[in-house]
């Protein structure tokens, strides 16, 4: 599309809906920066998808209530980030769940994901939720309904069960993880704390994907791995770089709340969709010399930060509030795993010899522990 149409946005009509696909970094930046002014994150299709399991979450809240719910999200997440108890709880969760992964010399997506789901439950709902596989199952069932947007009927019984389980962790005499912050953060009836928590639980599920791919990238790059073992900032940059290469949020989407004017003379009415596809912007070789290489340095020297079209955790007023929790969890877990030298044993194209592929199947990646493990 960019080749055919140049940098101007492209107007599309699908299923009676008008949408603008952005093709320039400046337009993407504008959409992100003007969120809350002429754009809302409460895009119609996203609301339809998320309403299956997290109606009322801040991301899909239109109008004035959004600011109030965002303040609640910030206060609860900050309450945790500021607490030594929370950092200790995260460390314990990650170390304990990572330990079995270091045994046996083989690592598969299934084992990795199982351990990660326990970590996520412990961080979001507290240690009491460690083995609550039902809560994960409920989320996953409702999320797959969400893939059908408004075409799938609402399964209210499952959603009530999910919300009731969540509530139980908040109401424990001594709640743990983010549930503790929810019970400690004042909320009006309008806030709907359980719906906010559902978003945290749902969003965290993207972290294992990028962490597993980060391990895949490091496995074929001994010099990068050696640095990642001792330099926490660099390891976080590696995770961000995996998110740049294969973003888990494929499109940043807004609906217009006012008439907007665009390069090329487009005028878009209020109520239209605006779409920035992250896989395109993150790999745009016209602008990024490092587009298809693994180059964590871009997250350390300011190049990636300065470019708003590189936005795995979004940018601007709707930027992800869980970014720090995700990056610190990822760094803790990868530090544990990097006690071994891992070698990929399944077919893959993650090595440094050629440009990295546009998509990567994390589910088929298998690893074997190499010499370092044998020595240890």
Q: Contact positions toward ligand HEM, by CB under 6 A?
A: 41, 58-59, 70, 73, 77, 199-200, 203-204, 206-207, 210, 248-249, 252, 312-314, 318, 320-322, 325-326
223 exposure class (CB count in 10 Å sphere: 0-12, 13-18, 19+): exposed
Residue, CB closest to ligand HEM: 322
CB of 129 to ligand HEM, least distance (A): 15
d(CA 54, CA 69): 13
Residue 213 or 369 having the CB closest to ligand HEM: 213
Closest CA to 109 of 358, 345, 349, 335: 345
Residue 158 or 320 having the CB closest to ligand HEM: 320
Q: Collapse the DSSP code of 367 into the 3-class scheme (helix H, G, I; strand E, B; otherwise coil) and give the result.
A: strand
Residue 207 or 310 having the CB closest to ligand HEM: 207
CB of 86 to ligand HEM, least distance (A): 11
Q: Collapse the DSSP code of 267 into the 3-class scheme (helix H, G, I; strand E, B; otherwise coil) and give the result.
A: strand
Closest CA to 145 of 130, 162, 131: 162
Q: Collapse the DSSP code of 345 into the 3-class scheme (helix H, G, I; strand E, B; otherwise coil) and give the result.
A: coil
| CA 125, 93, 72, 32 torsion-angle sign | negative
CB of 323 to ligand HEM, least distance (A): 7
Q: What is the DSSP letter of 295?
A: -
142: phi > 0 → left, psi -120 to 50 → alpha, else beta; which? alpha
Residue 120 or 369 having the CB closest to ligand HEM: 120
CB of 223 to ligand HEM, least distance (A): 26
Residue 282 or 340 having the CB closest to ligand HEM: 282
CB of 348 to ligand HEM, least distance (A): 21
Residue 225 or 330 having the CB closest to ligand HEM: 330
CB of 329 to ligand HEM, least distance (A): 8
């Amino acid at each position: 599309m960019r080749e055919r149409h140049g940098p101007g946005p492209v107007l599309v009509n699908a299923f009676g809906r008008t949408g603008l696909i952005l093709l320039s970094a400046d337009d993407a930046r504008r959409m992100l920066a003007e969120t809350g002014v002429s754009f809302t994150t409460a895009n119609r299709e996203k609301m339809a998808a998320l309403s299956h399991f997290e109606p009322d979450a801040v991301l899909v809240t239109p109008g004035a209530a959004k600011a109030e719910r965002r303040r609640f999200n910030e206060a609860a997440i900050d309450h945790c980030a500021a607490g030594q108890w929370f950092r200790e709880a995260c460390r314990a969760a990650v170390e304990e769940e990572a330990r079995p992964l270091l045994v046996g010399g083989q690592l598969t997506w299934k084992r990795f994901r199982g351990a990660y789901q326990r970590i996520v439950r412990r961080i979001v709902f507290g240690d009491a939720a460690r083995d609550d596989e039902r809560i994960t199952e409920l989320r996953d069932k409702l999320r797959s309904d969400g893939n059908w947007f408004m075409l799938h009927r609402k399964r209210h019984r499952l959603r009530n069960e999910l919300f009731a389980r969540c509530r139980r962790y908040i109401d424990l005499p001594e709640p743990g993880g983010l549930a503790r912050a929810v019970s400690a953060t004042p909320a009006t009836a309008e806030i709907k704390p359980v719906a906010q928590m559902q978003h945290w639980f749902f969003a965290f599920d993207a972290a294992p994907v990028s962490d597993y791919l980060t391990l895949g990238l490091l496995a074929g790059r001994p010099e990068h791995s050696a640095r990642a073992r001792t330099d926490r900032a660099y390891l976080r940059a590696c995770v961000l770089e995996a998110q740049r290469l294969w973003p888990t949020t494929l499109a940043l989407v807004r609906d217009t709340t006012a008439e907007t004017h665009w390069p090329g003379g487009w005028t878009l009415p209020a109520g239209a969709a605006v779409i920035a596809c992250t896989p395109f912007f993150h790999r745009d070789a016209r602008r990024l010399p490092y587009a298809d290489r693994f180059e964590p340095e871009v997250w350390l020297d300011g190049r990636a930060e300065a470019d708003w079209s590189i936005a795995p955790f979004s940018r601007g007023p709707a930027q992800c509030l869980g970014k720090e929790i995700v990056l610190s969890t990822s760094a803790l877990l990868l530090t544990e795993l990097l006690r071994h030298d891992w070698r990929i044993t399944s077919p893959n194209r993650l090595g440094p010899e050629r440009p990295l592929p546009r998509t990567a199947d994390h589910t088929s990646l298998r690893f074997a522990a190499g010499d370092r493990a044998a020595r240890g």
